[in-house]
Structure 1
Amino acid sequence: MSTAYLIVTLLTAAWIGFSGFSLLRRAPFVAQPLTEYGVPRSWWTWLGVAKAAGAAGLLVGLAVPAIGVLAGTCLVLYFVGAVITVLRARSYKTVAFPLLYLAPVVATLAVGSAA
């Protein structure tokens, strides 16, 4: 395992974990856009848990690489879905936000595959 992979994975897991925690506690900066995008409130807990599980999976992937790859792949699908949701809501000015979460996950997978 390379130092770059370790650092990128730790930072990505922290970033995604923070996002999941913020969603679970219904932080206004997360809840307001979800309302605007039309995401049902009944989904919010599950979406927050999915983010938290993905972050944990990335960390577990440091010891069990297959888990990390699976978690990273699922997070890529999650954030591609988030981009689609934002685009369907025609909130073009905020499409960068899910991309800011997608990019580090893709980077983690890329660095991990190169290591």
Structure 2
Amino acid sequence: MFVAYVHHRRTRVGSAVVLRRRQTHQTAATRRPDARAAGPLGILPFLGAAQIAGALGLIIGIWFAPLAIAATIGVALYFVGAVGAHLRVGDNVGTLPAAVLVVVSGVLIGLRAAVL
């Protein structure tokens, strides 16, 4: 599921870049809010690398519990930033999925820590 989510996010980010190129003549009020939520284009490679590192950490964490906890904390922090970015641009629709993933990550941190 996380791989599907990463693919979905990469597609959305890619479409946001194309959308920015098409909408240079439009005002900020007519642009899609999620196109602005990604922030400056220079940060996109870092966001992609953070997602890939989180996914690899979660997969390897199946066999090595401390890495699973660290990766889950990283993923939770990533989505806390996503919630903040979406709230900053007023994208309430994009805030909900990120907020749900923050809650799920928090639950997983608690469950995995309890098993140790």
- Map of 1:78-93 to 2, 5 A cutoff? 78-93=78-93
Q: Secondary structure at the match of 1:95?
A: helix
For 2:35, the equivalent position in structure 1 comes to 35
Gap regions ≥5 residues in structure 1: 1-13
For 2:7, the equivalent position in structure 1 comes to 21
TM-score (norm 1): 0.70
TM-score (norm 2): 0.69
User: Bigger relative contact order, structure 1 or 2, given CA contacts below 8 A and separation 6+?
Assistant: 1
Identity of aligned residues (%): 22
Between the aligned partners of 2:12 and 2:84, the Cα distance in structure 1 is: 21
Q: Report the CA distance shift for 1:30/1:83 in structure 2 as closer, same or farther (over 3 A).
A: farther
For 1:7, the equivalent position in structure 2 comes to none
Name which of structure 1's ranges 64-73 and 34-43 shifts more when overlaid on structure 2.
Answer: 34-43
Between the aligned partners of 1:38 and 1:68, the Cα distance in structure 2 is: 26
Between the aligned partners of 2:12 and 2:76, the Cα distance in structure 1 is: 24
Q: Secondary structure at the match of 1:55?
A: helix
Q: Report the CA distance shift for 1:105/1:30 in structure 2 as closer, same or farther (over 3 A).
A: farther
CA root-mean-square deviation? 2.3
Moved over 6 A (4+): none
Answer whether contact 1:21 1:48 (CA < 8 A) is retained.
no
Read off the aligned partner of 1:18 and give its amino acid letter.
A
Gap regions ≥5 residues in structure 2: 17-32
The number of residues matched between the two structures is 99
For 1:52, the equivalent position in structure 2 comes to 52
Between the aligned partners of 1:38 and 1:67, the Cα distance in structure 2 is: 27
Task: From the CA coordinates, give the structure whose radius of gyration is larger.
Answer: 2
Q: Report the CA distance shift for 1:38/1:29 in structure 2 as closer, same or farther (over 3 A).
A: closer
Q: Secondary structure at the match of 2:109?
A: helix
Between the aligned partners of 1:49 and 1:56, the Cα distance in structure 2 is: 10
